[in-house]
Every structure is written in structure tokens, then in C-alpha cells.
Amino acid sequence: MELSSKFFVALLLGLLVLSFSIWGVGDVFRSNVSDAVAIVGEQEISEGEFRQAMNREVDHMKQNFGDQLTPDVLKSLNIHKRIINQLVNDKLLSQEAQEIGLVFGDKPALQQIASVPQFRNEDGSFNAEAFHQFLRGQGHSEAGFIKMISDTTARQVLIDVVTNNAFVSEGLVKKIYEYENEKRKVSTVILPTNLISEIREPTTEEIADFYEKEKSKFSTMEYRDVSYLVLNSEAVDVEKEINEDSLKQSYQAHIRDYTTPEKRNLLNIIFESKEAADEAYQQIKSGKDFYGVAKDLANQDKAETALGYLAKEDLLPEISEKIFSLAKDEVSEPLESSFGWHVVKLLDIKPEQVEPIEKVKNELRQKLIVEKSEEIVYSLSAKLEDLLAAGSSLEEAANELGLKLNKTGMINSAGVLKERGELTKNMPRYSNFLSVAFATEEGQSSSLEQGEDGKSYFVLKVDEVIEPRTKALDEVKGNVISAWKQAKSRELLGGLAEGVVESLKASGDNVNIEEINKKIKAGNEETQKYSAKIAGEALLKNFDSLKRSPDENTTDYPASFFEEVFALKKGDASGYHEKVNKDLVVGKVIEIISANYKKDADGLGQIEQTLSYDASEDMWEQYLLYLRSKFPVKIIEEKITSE
């Protein structure tokens, strides 16, 4: 199966964007690489593979967000779930591709690589140096990159086969276009929230009735005094446990992290045939200048022959051993690889370098502090659970384990102190702390709860509860009167709005706002009953082409207004709706402006594209579910969350 170079260039450009340096993340994620984090069918996803994918994603995000992307922010984004699902999907697709025989060898990938403009000289020949510079910059070996291209291509073809078969009927596209693009000419009448400026004082009976109906609004809040223990790295002291021996052991266990492999500075002339490579080799052996031979026989200038310093793993396996057996200034015999025939000269050798422990002691110490802290916190959490299960009080458990017992003070469900009216500073910043505190009975302790970071714990005890109570009417009479007036004014405004609805229904296409305001000023039976003073006026606002959804002119209109107006017939009026600023609005449909898809091919095409995409996404999700049933997936959650 052949792919167009256009498809491949797009694929490669995607890799150029996504393939960032693997090792540039520091210690956000730990470097265990021994066990699988997921099993997909018969294939495993190793911790190393997962960590590399995580690190590439983090590096990419750091380029966009910079210093704002702290470890805590990273954890809160749950990117580990997205990454593991991407890796699982890749494994599913790879196994399916192999099973149905959709496999790409090295040759098609090499042909596509050679066709990419970024990797070609002006005369159209392949520019090996540009390609190797790309590989070095992205942290790929030749063999690894070629395999990645082959595997990615196979997966992409499979994705295209599945998603490109989505069908959307022409009739459906037209119907949706007409629905979404229909407009309406609408006259709206707006009743400002301050239209009624004043009403009479409530009677004693009205105050009592309102108080009884709205008692819950005049209640005190529930307050709780809470004791708690926190188990985290700050609660344990591990520095005394880190000595020279432990640093040396950690250094040896992670020696690869501090080792730079041997690298060799290489010159390379590449030929299409063995005969041409043999001729070049013989000329160089006879004393001719390497660069001169490269120019004469391969049309490569000095810069194009330079590969720079490469490690053994950066080279194709079929030529790496021979190149790394060369002595300094030695020229290799012609070597065959998947790119052609090479004549290579070794200019210099940078031996393997291992950073001495003295230079990395601080880094090792910080790593050990984190690791030891996590171990001790986990161990203490188990001991704490055992003590509490055995009947120890929170205070007794704290003394037994050498932990500090903290108190929040008397707080409400928002963490605000009863006495000061401000947020308490004596409370751990776990999102579930308050919900646990207010779900635990007075005098009881909660279960041991895990923090969002997965590495810390807390347990609490509710020492005292001040139950909420309804304040007596005499305590809140002034508040009750104010609330009654506000509620009654709102009720009266709604009554005036209903009168506007009836006026609009009876009016023609030209809404007379003066007549409507006259009726509003005259009031009604209810406004007269409560001696309402009507100080303002209703406002008229016309829309010549109101859209189905809010735009810059209607952002303060509620969704319910649009829903009702676009369900009305011509000449009908809506009920009243509350705007964002609490004003009331009523609308009358003057004209329905139908959409004409025949005059908007682009708009019709956009809807078709969106529907096709949605259908493709649905087919893709269904296909992934099928693959998961075919190739069982097991994700080891504790490993991906600890990375």
C-alpha cells in the first residue's frame, strides 16, 4: 500500500510538533522503568514508555505555559489518564493492523522520508545531514524513528478507513442549516428592575406570614470545631535517615541517569550503489581528501557530510557496530544500510562520562527525601488506621506516632470562623476536608482519607457541633420587612410584565411603547393594593434579525427567551423572562426570516463537515469499544497515578 507524500509530510510535521526531548522534565515523575503500567491484549506498556510519553507532553505544555505549569498543576490536570488512553489506543490499533495484515516495512517509510522537502538538497537528492540533525534535535535514533513512522502510518490508515466511512444525508444537512440559520424580527419590551421604586409597609400579619414561609432564610449556620491529623512529607523528618551509604546506593541504582554514553564525531558520504561507494573508498585510501571525494562523487559539500557527535544507539543497528569499531581518523569500508551505501570517517571520540557522586549529591538527597517521605507516610498511615481501629482516640494516636494534632476552630461548611467571619488558616487545603468534616457525627472520627496527590492522608474528629437554629422574629424583624418588600416588588413587576404580554398580543407589527407605558403607569389592582410607586418606564428594543443563540447584542438575555421566541408563530408574544441584570423582558415575533441554503454553499458545507466529524467521532468511539472487547485492556491505576 502506498501513501501520498502529502499525507506523509502532514504526518511528519505532526511528529515534529509532538516529539519533544524525552528527558527535559526533571523529577515531576519518578523514573521506575521495570514493570508494565498496562496490558493490552498480548502487549505491555512499560513504565518507561509511559514516562517518556508523559515527559514529551509535559515539555510541550511547558513551552506554552512556562513557569505556571507547576507539579501541583500538572497533577490536577490528570494528564496521566489521557496519556495512558492514547498509548492503549495505539497498542489496540497496532495489534489490529498486524492481525489484518496492514503492516508497513522500512522501505515505504524510507521513501517517504526521502520525499520530504526539509530532507532534500536543492538538486532533489536526499540530505542525510538535515535528517540526522532532525533526529538529534528530537531525541530519536534512525531505527526507532523509521519504526515509529511505519507503525504510525499503519495506525493512521486504519483510523482513516474507520472514520472516513461516516455518512450524513443531504436532507439532514439542509434541515439543520435551516434550523440553525433561521432569524426573526422581534420587538422586545424591557421592564427595569427598579420600575417599582417604593411600596407600603407590610402589616403585622403579612410580616408573620412571610416569616413563617421563609424561615430557612433567617437561620444561623451550622458550625463545627474539628481536630485533625495530616500525614504528608512535611509531617515527617527523614533527613536524619539519609547518610552517605544511602546516597551511594541511590547513585548506583540510578547510574544511567548520570551517564553520558560514548559519542563519535562522524563524517558520512552516502551513495545509491555499492560500486560508487567502493570507488570513493579506494580514492580516500589512496590519499585523496575525504571532502573532495564527497564533492566529486556524491555532490555533498563539507556541511552535508558532517553528522556530528552520535552515540551508538543513534545509528542504524546494521552499521553501528562497525562504525564504533573504527579507530580515530580511520575510514570505513562501504557499509550498507536501509538508506544506501555509506563511507564513514571517524574524526574524534568522546568517551563515556559519568558524573561523580559529589556533583549530584544534592539532587540525590532531594530524591531520597521525597522517596523516604512517601515510604514513611504510607507506613504511618497503616499504623494510624490500626490504632484507630483498636479504639485509640485521635489524640492518643497522635502521641503514639509523634504527630501534631491540629484544630480548625469553630467553622461553617465554607471554612469561615464563627467569631471572626474569615476563612480559617488552621485547615488543610484538601478539597474534600470540609465535606468529610460536615458528614461526620459529633464526637466521632472519620476514616483515613487520601489527599488528591495520592501521597498524603488526613483523619479528623468532630469535637463540637453548634446546630443551626431559626432566629426569632423579633431578632430579624427588620430583615424580614426588607425581604418582604423586595419579594413583593418583584411580584408586582411580574404582574406588570403580564400586562405587557397581553398588550403585545393585541398590538400590530408596530409596537407602541407610549401606550404600553401609559398602562404601566396606571398600574393594576395589585399595585394599588400595595401603594406601589411606579417611577420608571419600560423600554422598547427592536431586533431586525434575531439569531437563535445570543450574540454581542443579546448576551444578557436568558436561553429560555430564545427558546420560546423561536417556538412562536408570527404575531405571537412570549411570556416574560428575567435578564442577567434582573430586568424583565417580553418579546413579540414580527416576522420569521427563513434561511436559504442555496445562497450559502460555504455555510452548508461547514454544517456537513461538522456532522461528518461528529459521525466519524461516534464511529471511532464504537470501534475502540470493539477493539477493547477483542484485545482485553488492564490498566494498573496505582502505577500511572504514582508516576
DSSP string, 24-75: -STTSS----SSEEEEETTEEEEHHHHHHHHHHHHHHHHHHHGGG--HHHHH
Of 447-451, 538-542, 593-597, minimum mean pLDDT range: 447-451
The identity of residue 236, as a single letter, is: V
For CATH 1.10.4030, list the domain ranges present in the chain: 5-165+623-642
Cα–Cα distance measured from residue 382 to residue 380, given in angstroms and rounded to the nearest whole number? 5
Indicate if the pLDDT at residue 561 is higher than 90: yes
pLDDT of residue 627: 93
Percent of the chain with pLDDT over 90: 54
Indicate if the pLDDT at residue 18 is higher than 80: no
**Nearest to residue 210, comparing CAs of 482, 473, 479, 484?**
484
Confidence of residue 137 (pLDDT cuts 50, 70, 90): low
Query: Angle at the Cα of 514 (from 509 to 518), degrees rounded to 5?
Result: 120
Angle between helices 142-163 and 106-115 (to 10 degrees): 90
Confidence of residue 141 (pLDDT cuts 50, 70, 90): confident
Confidence of residue 639 (pLDDT cuts 50, 70, 90): confident
Cα–Cα distance measured from residue 54 to residue 619, given in angstroms and rounded to the nearest whole number? 27
Over residues 352-365, mean pLDDT: 88
Confidence of residue 532 (pLDDT cuts 50, 70, 90): very high
With cell 481501629, the residue in question is: 389
Over residues 226-250, mean pLDDT: 84
Higher pLDDT, 104 or 566: 566
Sign of CA dihedral 249, 252, 256, 258: positive
Assigned CATH for 5-165+623-642 = 1.10.4030
pLDDT of residue 70: 63
Of 126-140, 363-377, 521-535, minimum mean pLDDT range: 126-140
pLDDT of residue 19: 37
Q: What is the DSSP letter of 515?
A: H
Q: What is the residue-averaged pLDDT of the chain? A: 86
Indicate if the pLDDT at residue 21 is higher than 50: no
Tally helices (H) and strands (E) across the chain. Answer: 23, 19
* Architecture in CATH of 262-351: Roll (3.10)
Burial class (CB in 10 A: 0-12, 13-18, 19+), 105: exposed
Confidence of residue 642 (pLDDT cuts 50, 70, 90): low
Of 94-98, 233-237, 510-514, minimum mean pLDDT range: 233-237
With cell 472520627, the residue in question is: 445
Q: 599 to each of 180, 609, 643, how far by Cα in Å?
A: 15, 18, 55
Q: Identify whether the C-beta of residue 349 lies closer than 8 Å to the C-beta of residue 361.
A: no
Cα–Cα distance measured from residue 61 to residue 498, given in angstroms and rounded to the nearest whole number? 54
Indicate if the pLDDT at residue 29 is higher than 50: no
Q: Identify whether the C-beta of residue 569 lies closer than 8 Å to the C-beta of residue 555.
A: no
CA atoms within 13 A on the CB side of 59: 17
Sign of CA dihedral 503, 505, 507, 512: positive
Secondary structure, 3-state, 114-134: HHCHHHECCCCCECHHHHHHH
Of 23-37, 75-89, 627-641, minimum mean pLDDT range: 23-37
Sign of CA dihedral 292, 297, 299, 302: negative
Of 12-16, 70-74, 312-316, 431-435, minimum mean pLDDT range: 12-16
At 416, is the secondary structure helix, strand, or coil?
Answer: strand
Q: Identify whether the C-beta of residue 340 lies closer than 8 Å to the C-beta of residue 127.
A: no
Over residues 440-446, mean pLDDT: 95
For CATH 3.10.50.40, list the domain ranges present in the chain: 262-351
pLDDT of residue 3: 39
Of 94-98, 370-374, 402-406, 557-561, which has the strongest mean pLDDT?
557-561
Cα–Cα distance measured from residue 88 to residue 79, given in angstroms and rounded to the nearest whole number? 14
Of 118-132, 383-397, 439-453, minimum mean pLDDT range: 118-132
Residue 512 in grid coordinates: 407602541
Indicate if the pLDDT at residue 399 is higher than 70: yes
Cα–Cα distance measured from residue 625 to residue 85, given in angstroms and rounded to the nearest whole number? 12
Cα first-last separation, the chain: 39
Cα–Cα distance measured from residue 59 to residue 55, given in angstroms and rounded to the nearest whole number? 6
| Residues forming beta bridges with residue 584, ordered by sequence position | 191, 578
Q: Identify whether the C-beta of residue 564 lies closer than 8 Å to the C-beta of residue 558.
A: no
Confidence of residue 15 (pLDDT cuts 50, 70, 90): very low
User: Strand 533-534 and strand 43-46: pairing?
Assistant: unpaired
Taking CB atoms within 8 Å and a gap of at least 24, the contacts of 23-26 are 23/55, 23/139, 24/55, 24/59, 25/54, 25/55, 25/58, 25/59
pLDDT of residue 51: 82
Q: 588 to each of 203, 508, 557, how far by Cα in Å?
A: 39, 10, 15
**Helix, strand, coil shares of the chain as percentages rounded to 5?**
50, 20, 30
Of 427-431, 497-501, 567-571, minimum mean pLDDT range: 427-431
Residue range 223-241+360-466 in CATH 1.10.3470? no
